[in-house]
Amino acid sequence: MNKNKITTEILVVTGFMIALSVVLSKLISINISFLRVGFGFLPIAVLAIMYGPVIAAIGYGVADLLGAWLLPTGTFFPGFTVSAVLTGLIFGWILYKKEVTFMRALIASAIVCLAVNLLLNTWWLTFLIGKGFKVLLASRAVKEIVAIPVMAVLIVAIDKYVLKRIK
Domains (range + CATH), the chain: 8-166 (1.10.1760.20)
What length does the chain have? Answer: 167
Distances in Å between the Cα of 136 and the Cα atoms of 39, 59, 122, 139 are 22, 28, 6, 5
- Supply the pLDDT for residue 6: 87
- Supply the pLDDT for residue 54: 97
- pLDDT, tens digit, for every residue of 1-40? 556 688 999 999 999 999 999 999 888 877 666 566 789 9
- Supply the pLDDT for residue 53: 98
- Supply the pLDDT for residue 74: 79
Q: Which residues of the chain have pLDDT under 50?
A: none
For residue 151, give the DSSP letter: H
Q: What phi and psi values does residue 71 have, to the nearest 5 degrees?
A: -135, 70
Q: Is 5 helix (H, G, I), strand (E, B) or coil?
A: coil
